[in-house]
C-alpha cells in the first residue's frame, strides 16, 4: 500500500499542503470546517507525520541515546527506569543500547546514534574502553553528552558519579572496624576508573589503619562475574592464605564467593566476612544476607537525564554549556555477611 503523505491528503481535499499542515497543528487561521475535514481524512487514512521532515524544521529529534554495559544488571536496570520515566514526562524517547562491555560494539552504537541525529547521548563506558576518540567525537559533533557511573576524567563533558574511592574506603573500614585484619580484594579490570578508585579506596583504608597491604590478596575480575567470584574464593580458600575478609567490586562477584564458601562449609562471617558493592536486591535474599555499599542507581539515572536535557535546552537557546560533575552520596548497608 502506498504511504499516505500530507500532499495526498491536501490533493484529495483540494487544498494546499500548507493549509493541510496548519489544520493538523490546529492553527487558528484555518476554518473549523477545513480543520475537521483534514483531521477526519488523516485518521481514516492512518496518516503518520514524517518525523524526519519535522526534525529538519525544528532541529531536534526528541530522541536521546543511552548506552550501558548491560541491561540485566540490577544497578543499570534502575538507571534505565529512571531515565525512561523522566524523559517520557518531558516528551523524549530513549534508544537504549547494550555494549556488553565491548568497546568495538560501543563504537558502532555511538556512530548509530550520531547518524540518527539524537538530541543527546548518555553513556556508562564499557570496561574495555581505552581509545577515547569515539567519545571525543561525540563532543566534537556538538551533541550534548553526559557520562555516568563508569566515566573517563579525560572527556570534557558533564558527569554523574559516586565517589568510588570513598565508598570503597568505607566498605573496607567497616570490615576493619569489625575486627578483620587480612582483607582480600576481588577487584575489577585494570582500566575502568571506578575499578581503579575502588581498589585505591581499599588500599588507603588498610594503610590508614596500619594494616599490611598484600598484593597477592588482590584478584582481578575481567568480566566482573558470579563465576569469577566463585573461582577466586575457591582459589583463595585452597591456597591456605591467612584471610578473614573479602571486599568485592560488585555484589554479583561477592555472591559468587558466598556460594563457594557455603558449599565448602566455611562459616560466614565467623571464618570470613564478605562485603559487596551496589546493594543489588539479591544481596538481601542470599544466605547469609550480603553487606554492601548502596549505589543509588535510580537517582543517578534521574540526575543524568535532567542534566542532559538542561544542556540540550541551553544549546537550543544558543547558550554556552558549563559542564558539571554531580557526585551522589553512598552508604554501607550492614547485613549478616559481616560481623557486628
User: Is residue 336 a part of any domain in this protein?
Assistant: no
3-state SS record for the chain: CCCCCHHHHHHHHCCCHHHHHHHHCCCCCCCHHHHHHHHHHHHHCCCCCCHHHHHHHHCCCCEEEEEECCCCCHHHHHHHHHHHHHHHHCCCEEEEEECCCCHHHHHHHHHHHHHCCCCEEEECCCCCCCCCHHHHHHHHHCCCEEEECCCCCCCCCEEEEECHHHHHHHHHHHHHHCCCCCEEEEECCCCCHHHHHHHHHHHHHHHHCCCCCCHHHEEECCCCCHHHHHHHHHHHHHCCCCCCEEEECCHHHHHHHHHHHHHCCCCCCCCCEEEEEECCHHHHCCCCCCEEEECCHHHHHHHHHHHHHHHHHHHHCCCCCCCCEEEECCEEECCCCCCC
The whole-number pLDDT of residue 73 equals 77
pLDDT tens for 90-102 read 999 999 999 999 9
Residues 265 and 218 in one domain: yes
User: Is residue 251 a part of any domain in this protein?
Assistant: yes
Sorting pLDDT into bands at 50, 70 and 90, what band is 1?
Answer: very low
72 or 161: which leads in pLDDT: 161
User: Is residue 27 a part of any domain in this protein?
Assistant: yes
pLDDT tens for 141-162 read 999 999 999 999 999 999 999 9
User: Is residue 230 a part of any domain in this protein?
Assistant: yes
Q: Is the pLDDT of residue 187 over 50?
A: yes
pLDDT tens for 212-231 read 999 999 999 999 999 999 99
Residues 195 and 225 in one domain: yes
Number of domains making up the chain:
3
User: Is residue 340 a part of any domain in this protein?
Assistant: no
Q: Is the pLDDT of residue 56 over 80?
A: no
Question: Which residues constitute the domain of residue 197?
Answer: 164-295
Residues 249 and 199 in one domain: yes
Q: Is the pLDDT of residue 332 over 70?
A: yes
The whole-number pLDDT of residue 42 equals 86
The whole-number pLDDT of residue 50 equals 64
pLDDT tens for 264-318 read 999 999 999 999 999 999 999 999 999 999 999 999 999 999 999 999 999 988 8
User: Is residue 1 a part of any domain in this protein?
Assistant: no
Average pLDDT score over the chain: 93
Residues 192 and 267 in one domain: yes
The whole-number pLDDT of residue 168 equals 98
Residues 195 and 289 in one domain: yes
User: Is residue 89 a part of any domain in this protein?
Assistant: yes
The whole-number pLDDT of residue 54 equals 54
The whole-number pLDDT of residue 96 equals 97
Amino acid at each position: 500500500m502506498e504511504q499516505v503523505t500530507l500532499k495526498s491528503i491536501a490533493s484529495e481535499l483540494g487544498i494546499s499542503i500548507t493549509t493541510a499542515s496548519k489544520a493538523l497543528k490546529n492553527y487558528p487561521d484555518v476554518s473549523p470546517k477545513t480543520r475537521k475535514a483534514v483531521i477526519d481524512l488523516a485518521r481514516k487514512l492512518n496518516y503518520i507525520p514524517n518525523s524526519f521532515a519535522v526534525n529538519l524544521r525544528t532541529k531536534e529529534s526528541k530522541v536521546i541515546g543511552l548506552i550501558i554495559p548491560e541491561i540485566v544488571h540490577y544497578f543499570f536496570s534502575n538507571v534505565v527506569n529512571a531515565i525512561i520515566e523522566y524523559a517520557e514526562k518531558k516528551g523524549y524517547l530513549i534508544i537504549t543500547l547494550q555494549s556488553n562491555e565491548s568497546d568495538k560494539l560501543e563504537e558502532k552504537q555511538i556512530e548509530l546514534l550520531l547518524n540518527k541525529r539524537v538530541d543527546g547521548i548518555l553513556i556508562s563506558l564499557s570496561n574495555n574502553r581505552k581509545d577515547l576518540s569515539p567519545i571525543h567525537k561525540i563532543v566534537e559533533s556538538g551533541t550534548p553528552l553526559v557520562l555516568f557511573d563508569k566515566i573517563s576524567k579525560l572527556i570534557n563533558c558533564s558527569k554523574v558519579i559516586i565517589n568510588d574511592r570513598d565508598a570503597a574506603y568505607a566498605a573496607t573500614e567497616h570490615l576493619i572496624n569489625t575486627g578483620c585484619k587480612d582483607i582480600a580484594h576481588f577487584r575489577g579490570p585494570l582500566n575502568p576508573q571506578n575499578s581503579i578508585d575502588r581498589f585505591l579506596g581499599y588500599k588507603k583504608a588498610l594503610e590508614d589503619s596500619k594494616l599490611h597491604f598484600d598484593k597477592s590478596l588482590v584478584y582481578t575480575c575481567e568480566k566482573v562475574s558470579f563465576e569469577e567470584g566463585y573461582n577466586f574464593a575457591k582459589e583463595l580458600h585452597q591456597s591456605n592464605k591467612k584471610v578473614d575478609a573479602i571486599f568485592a567490586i560488585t555484589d554479583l562477584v561477592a555472591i559468587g564467593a558466598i556460594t563457594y564458601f557455603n558449599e565448602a562449609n566455611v562459616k560466614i562471617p565467623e571464618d570470613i566476612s564478605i562485603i559487596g558493592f551496589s546493594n543489588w536486591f539479591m544481596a538481601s535474599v542470599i544466605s547469609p544476607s550480603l553487606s554492601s555499599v548502596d549505589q543509588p542507581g535510580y537517582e543517578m539515572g534521574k540526575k543524568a537525564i535532567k542534566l542532559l536535557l538542561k544542556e540540550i535546552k541551553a544549546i537550543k537557546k544558543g547558550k554556552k554549556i558549563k559542564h558539571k560533575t554531580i557526585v551522589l552520596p553512598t552508604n554501607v548497608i550492614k547485613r549478616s555477611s559481616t560481623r557486628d
